[in-house]
């Protein structure tokens, strides 16, 4: 398997992950024996019917919830047994979240919304970063607009800029186009592709095939298990990785 190609370091390694919710007489098993490796620089879509375990998996990946069993290695570090505070620290530094509900501060400028994550940690160059990521998502001319003056697509771009400002190694997106029309959805997915091309790992949940096709790899869940895992686009461009396994920007 992949012999002769430089190894790309995993960012996510799940080993026999289980999630059980105690609900009344019978427990609900949301995830069963999930084994998954995602390498740095991948773009993965997670699909599956309602109730198949997608959100449970995303919450575990994002250190928002703990597995009931199994081990989770993030960037090679076992994060399964960390305290809530330790998990929060890793989350703030390494993971950017984009949700279907945009969760912006109402009546607050684009700039202040994007700066929000920098308030929790010392980020001396926060303002410079904010200007850069706002530009990256195509909202430079909206920097001082308030969130109630923006369209749905623009609001989601702000949410993406806010997810990028801490320069996370991984972006987790839960139905990020769920509230957008087809055209705006396509634009947002192209933005995720650009972000991925610059090196960030992207993992997103969607129930729409068309949206999943923007990813390179599609994982399908059913009844808490991975039932298929396809690298459906062209094989990985190995040239995108340097010898340490870190993704490098493509050469144009």
Q: Which of 62, 33, 30 is nearest to 203 (CA)?
A: 62
Vertex 166 angle, CA 15 and 98, to 5°:
65
Vertex 226 angle, CA 66 and 210, to 5°:
105
CA 33 to chain centre: 22
φ, ψ for residue 37, nearest 5 deg: -120, 125
What is the sign of the dihedral through the CA atoms of 190, 194, 195 and 200? positive
Rule CB under 6 A: is residue 50 a binding residue for ligand ADP?
yes
Rule CB under 6 A: is residue 155 a binding residue for ligand ADP?
no
**243 burial type by CB count under 10 A (0-12 exposed, 13-18 middle, 19+ buried):** exposed
Rule CB under 6 A: is residue 176 a binding residue for ligand ADP?
no
Rule CB under 6 A: is residue 85 a binding residue for ligand ADP?
no
Residues sharing a CB contact under 8 Å with residue 243, sequence separation 6 or more, in sequence order: 6
Stretch that binds ligand ADP, among 32-40, 48-56, 108-116, 210-218 (CB under 6 A): 48-56
Closer CB to ligand ADP, 68 or 109, in the complex: 68
Of 8, 11, 34, 52, the residue at the interface with ligand ADP (CB under 6 A) is 52
CB of 23 to ligand ADP, least distance (A): 5
Buried (b) or exposed (e) across 146-164, using 16+ Cβ within 10 A? Answer: bbeebeebbbbbbbbbbbb
Closer CB to ligand ADP, 45 or 166, in the complex: 45
Applying CB under 6 A, what is the total number of residues that bind ligand ADP? Answer: 12
Stretch that binds ligand ADP, among 3-11, 21-29, 112-120, 237-245 (CB under 6 A): 21-29
Rule CB under 6 A: is residue 178 a binding residue for ligand ADP?
no
Closer CB to ligand ADP, 115 or 204, in the complex: 204
Of 53, 62, 67, 153, the residue at the interface with ligand ADP (CB under 6 A) is 53
Rule CB under 6 A: is residue 56 a binding residue for ligand ADP?
yes
Of 8, 14, 30, 115, the residue at the interface with ligand ADP (CB under 6 A) is 30
Beta strands 217-222; 201-205: pairing state: unpaired
CB of 207 to ligand ADP, least distance (A): 8
Rounded to whole angstroms, the Cα distance separating 115 from 97 reads 14
- Tokens encoding 68: 């009931």
Rule CB under 6 A: is residue 55 a binding residue for ligand ADP?
yes
Closer CB to ligand ADP, 34 or 38, in the complex: 34
Kindly list the residues in this chain that would bind ligand ADP in the complex (CB under 6 A).
21, 23, 28, 30, 48, 50-56
């Amino acid at each position: 398997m992949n012999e002769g190609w430089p190894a790309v370091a995993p960012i996510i390694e799940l080993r026999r992950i289980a999630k059980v919710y105690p609900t009344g007489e019978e427990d609900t098993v949301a995830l069963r024996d999930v084994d998954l490796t995602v390498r740095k620089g991948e773009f993965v879509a997670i699909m599956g019917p309602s109730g198949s375990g997608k959100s449970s998996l995303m919450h575990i990946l994002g250190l928002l919830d703990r597995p009931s069993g199994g081990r989770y290695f993030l960037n090679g570090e076992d994060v399964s047994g960390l305290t809530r505070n330790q998990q929060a620290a890793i989350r703030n530094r390494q993971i950017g979240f984009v949700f279907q509900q945009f969760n912006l501060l109402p009546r607050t400028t684009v700039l202040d919304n994007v700066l929000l994550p920098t308030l929790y940690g010392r980020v001396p160059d926060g303002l410079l970063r904010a200007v850069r990521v706002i530009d990256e998502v195509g909202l430079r001319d909206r920097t001082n607009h308030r969130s109630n003056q923006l369209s749905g697509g623009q609001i989601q771009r702000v949410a993406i800029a806010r997810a990028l400002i801490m320069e996370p190694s991984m972006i987790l997106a839960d139905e990020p186009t769920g509230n957008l029309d087809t055209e705006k959805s396509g634009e947002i997915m192209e933005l995720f592709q650009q972000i991925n091309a610059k090196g960030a790992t992207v993992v997103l949940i969607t129930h729409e095939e068309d949206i999943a096709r923007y990813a390179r790899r599609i994982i399908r869940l059913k009844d808490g298990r991975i039932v298929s895992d396809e690298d459906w686009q062209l094989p990985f461009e190995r040239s995108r990785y340097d010898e340490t396994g870190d993704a490098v920007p493509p050469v144009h």
